[in-house]
Amino acid sequence: MPRFSIIVPSHGVAGRLGQALDSVLAQSFGDFELIPVCDAAGSPAAGVAAGHAERDSRVAPVHAPPSEGLAGARNAGVRAATGSYLLFLDGDDVLAPGALAALDARLAQTGPVDVLPCEHERVPWWEGEPTRPVAPLLERAPAGAFAPARAPHLTGVRLPAWSAAWRRAFVAEHELVFPPGWFTDVGWCGRALLRAERVAVSRRVLVRHRARRQGDRLRLPGAHHHDLLDQAERVLEEAAGLGLPPERSGPLFEQLFAAVLKTAAHPRRLPSGRREFFRRASALYRRHRPAGFRPPGGSLGVQHRLLAAGSYEAFAALRDTRRAAGR
């Protein structure tokens, strides 16, 4: 059984897939299997993956139809994986040099953990220096392995799936799968952190995430932003079923609705259907608000109160006023 199974979806990134695969094969730590997930045998990405498989027996391509999206590709990779820990690497990103050795060393320190969130760097596709994101969620976490109750702010809502290691037996035990649609990381990471019993963090950079000039695809305008509410609802329903204590349900609720309110207050992300998004978010807010939850201060707290009241007109007026003041 290899130490790591590294799953690399490749749809739409055939031109950069070779760099992603090379960044794995160049690692100083070699106990891994590399699973590129390609659309079909004749696709451009499949040709790249097949060439790497001919040169290195650790490369084992699998296929998933593009209609299943990113979630389907990752789930296909999980089904094929045999390693102790799962890693997800987007086909246009790269592993940082020495990342696997550092990850193995950290796991040797902590012992088996269900989830190990890591740092990452943003690297522009064009010219520019990499920037290491501020990661207060990791900086505030305990040093060793711990139960999630000791770090309730680690909800998974802000964690990219590719910036962590996931114990494969834990994933299988709880039948974790990436849910369909956009914002699939929210559904996967949120549910996983609800179920995890032992967590540790690594402050070493695992992935160099290549930022596009036009920004993250999830931030582009379109109806796909409604999927954020689907993912939030999945996580909140599961949290309700587990009966989380307020010290854990409060941070989860606040972080989910920080993301929801950021979308609701950004008119360019929702060129149409803004009122419907707000109406549904308001119903979700009232249904799942934890007992005793206190909204944050400042403008965000005002948005919380307007969402709870279902006051779309007032919310839209506040949004427009803030945008005019910013200009």
pTM, rounded to two decimals: 0.92
DSSP secondary structure string for all residues of 130-172: -BPPP-HHHHTS-SS-B-GGG-TT--STT--GGGEEEEHHHHH
Q: Are β-strands 32-38 and 4-9 bridged in parallel, bridged antiparallel, or unpaired?
A: parallel
CA atoms within 13 A on the CB side of 162: 24
What string of pLDDT tens digits covers the 327 residues of the chain?
999 999 999 887 778 899 999 999 999 999 999 999 998 777 888 899 999 999 999 999 999 988 889 999 999 999 999 999 999 999 999 999 999 999 999 999 999 999 999 999 888 766 555 566 655 678 788 888 989 989 999 999 999 999 999 999 999 999 999 999 999 999 999 999 999 999 999 999 999 988 765 556 666 777 888 999 999 999 999 999 999 999 999 999 999 999 999 999 887 888 888 999 999 999 999 999 999 999 998 889 999 999 999 999 998 888 777 666 656
Q: What one-letter code names the amino acid at 221?
A: P
Contact yes or no for 252/157 (Cβ under 8 A): yes
Under DSSP, the state recorded for 56 is -
Domains of the chain: 4-218 (3.90.550.10), 221-326 (no CATH)
